[in-house]
Amino acid sequence: MDESEDMPKDFIKLKSEKLSVDEVSELVISPYCGAVSLFIGTTRNNFEGKKVIHLEYEAYTSMAETEIKKICRDVRQKWPSVKHIAVHHRLGLVPITEASVIIAVSSPHRAESLEAVRYCINTLKASVPIWKKEIYEDEYSWKENKECFWANSEK
């Protein structure tokens, strides 16, 4: 296979079903790359001393997908050697220990894929219209990401 047959691809998915680390990592594997870096964001069982029962995510889906595509374009400008990018985010109810987001990036060398994954998750949290609701034992709270630009501009 020559490299033209393995053109860079972006795999973006927002879904209510359980996310698969194997599925996401397999999407980005390339014979031209020696590195696949992953970020997996999972639901933890606590927040500031409160017991978290589960999380719920909502999104403005078409706008979220557009914003994630912009992140992928930015990654390719900053790290031209990046081959494939996968960003899968779960919507709806996410139980404790399950993944709410999985990001995978392949590149010839590890530095670029590690930096690109970090950039992807930080930028996603700051700019993509996905909202998180934390459900506790006796209450709930809608959370805004501290990185979120529109939340910070109103304060």
Is 109 annotated among the ligand-binding residues?
A: yes
Is 76 annotated among the ligand-binding residues?
A: no
Q: What are phi and psi of 121, to 5 degrees?
A: -70, -40
Is 125 annotated among the ligand-binding residues?
A: yes
* 86 closest CA partner among 122, 130, 129, 39: 39
Is 15 annotated among the ligand-binding residues?
A: no
Residue 63: which residues within 8 A CB-CB, separation 6 or more?
129
Is 44 annotated among the ligand-binding residues?
A: no
CA–CA separation, 72 vs 138, rounded Å?
39
Is 132 annotated among the ligand-binding residues?
A: yes
Tokens of 150: 């529109």
* Binding site as annotated, residues for substrate: 109-110, 125, 132-134
Q: Which residues are annotated as a binding site?
A: 109-110, 125, 132-134
